[in-house]
Amino acid sequence: ATNFRMMFNMCRALSYVPLFDTSQATDVYGMYSGCYSLREIPHHNTSNVTKFGEMLANCRSVTYIPPFDTSKATSLTAFASGCSALKAFPSLNTSEVTTMDTMIRDCASLTSIPPLDTSKVTNIVTMLWSASALEHIQGIDVSSATSFASFFDLLPALKSAYIKGLHFSLSFAKSPLLT
């Protein structure tokens, strides 16, 4: 099968999914969206997937995302949005991605993200919105972005940001929310 779109969408009580063949998949949009109880995501073969939008949206119990092959991905819109227990974001090949809007929105436990190739990304609207524990942003290139709407919105813990393509410097005072 090539289309795994919304396969387990809103299976709120689903707690386990075994690894199964996804080697022909091209679309995993919303595949696990709304699986609140799912703690572990199988490391699927995603080498042919272009559409990753909302794949893991609102998987509230997931703490780890496997390093999926995203080399053909063009969209990571809301990819892990609402994964409130997510501790670390994987290093992904994002060289062909053009949209990352709301990609890690509401990932309240995420403290850092690895460098991502965002040189072709034009849409980063609310990409990081309300990732309230995010302390470090490393190596994001926003030189192709056409809108920064709410890009830094609700990031009270942010301490450092290395962002290529901005034509000004950023500094962050210690947040009163940190102890």
What are phi and psi for residue 110, nearest 5 degrees?
-75, 125
Please determine, for residue 129, whether its predicted confidence score (pLDDT) is greater than 60: yes
Place of tokens 């809103």: 10
Q: What pLDDT does 168 receive?
A: 56
Residue 147 has a pLDDT of 80
pLDDT above 70 (res 178): no
Residue 92, amino acid: L
**148, pLDDT greater than 80:** no
Longest dimension (CA), the chain: 51
As given in the structure block, the two tokens for residue 74 are 């063009």
Residue 55, pLDDT above cutoff 80 = yes
Q: What is the pLDDT of residue 179?
A: 40
- Residue the block writes with tokens 């799912």: 38
Mean pLDDT of the chain: 90
Highest mean pLDDT (candidates 19-23, 86-90, 111-115): 19-23
Q: What is the pLDDT of residue 30?
A: 98
Distance CA 128, CA 161 (A): 12
Identity of the amino acid at 93: N
Question: Distance between CA atoms of 45 and 37, rounded to whole angstroms?
Answer: 23
